[in-house]
């Protein structure tokens, strides 16, 4: 199982994923590589692997990416190395990636993906959240809102939809989804009891 969480920036994905991982130690965040400059409060190798353009080009040439996409003027990608690290450690990877990357991993991993589109409660609330960050310019915020309207058109490709109106409730729903996915017959391989056992 690989968990994919997509939603417009400002939908509260980072907080949602942070809380989800705090409640379930089997989950681990898949750290993406990005050419975006580091924001205050972020740490290299934790929030992202912050790389320069040349390094990103090198990774591309090496076929290092499971998926990658340009987002808001910077490049972001999931490396096979990071994903493998998690699966080899027996963790359930959690990917926080945009719709372009989402499409790529859904094609690559198909049924193995537990895909969730996270919605903000309203467009007004999304704008309020983006403004309260105060890290981006008015122009950047307007761009993010425009991108958000485009991104929600991809929601039908995701298996689950969660509205992040209340963090505790939204994370509770995600835990229920994971529990249900683990009970899917196709996820179990062999039945827990064999008929001839």
Residues making contact with ligand 5GP (CB under 6 A): 9, 32, 36, 67-69, 71-72, 76-78, 96-98, 100-101
Query: Closest separation between CB of residue 112 and ligand 5GP, Å?
Result: 18
Which C-beta is closer to ligand 5GP: that of 102 or that of 178? 102
Torsion of CA 30, 167, 19, 96, to 10 degrees: 0
Which C-beta is closer to ligand 5GP: that of 55 or that of 182? 55
> Interior CA angle at 10 toward 111 and 83, to 5°?
35
Which C-beta is closer to ligand 5GP: that of 28 or that of 69? 69
Q: Closest CB to ligand 5GP belongs to which residue?
A: 101
Query: Closest separation between CB of residue 63 and ligand 5GP, Å?
Result: 15
Rounded to whole angstroms, the Cα distance separating 117 from 100 reads 13
Cα distances (angstroms) measured from residue 135 to each of 24, 43, 64, 116, 160: 30, 16, 30, 27, 30
Which C-beta is closer to ligand 5GP: that of 24 or that of 47? 47
Rounded to whole angstroms, the Cα distance separating 32 from 24 reads 21
């Amino acid at each position: 199982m690989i968990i994919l969480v997509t939603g417009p920036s400002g939908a509260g994905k980072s907080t949602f994923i942070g809380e989800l991982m705090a409640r379930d130690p089997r989950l681990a965040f898949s750290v993406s590589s990005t050419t975006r400059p580091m924001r205050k409060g972020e740490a290299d190798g934790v929030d992202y692997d912050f790389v320069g353009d040349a390094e990103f080009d090198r990774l591309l040439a090496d076929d290092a990416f499971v998926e990658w996409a340009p987002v808001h003027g910077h490049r972001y990608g999931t490396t096979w190395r990071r994903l493998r690290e998690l699966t080899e450690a027996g963790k359930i990877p959690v990917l926080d990636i945009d719709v372009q990357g989402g499409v790529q991993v859904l094609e690559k991993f198909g049924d193995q993906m537990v895909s969730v589109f996270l919605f903000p409660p309203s467009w007004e609330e999304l704008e309020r959240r983006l403004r309260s960050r105060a890290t981006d310019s008015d122009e950047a915020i307007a761009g993010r809102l425009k991108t958000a309207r485009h991104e929600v058109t991809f929601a039908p490709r995701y298996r689950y939809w969660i509205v992040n109106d209340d963090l505790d409730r939204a994370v509770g729903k995600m835990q229920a989804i994971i529990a249900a996915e683990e009970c899917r017959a196709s996820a179990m391989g062999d039945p827990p009891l064999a008929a001839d056992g």
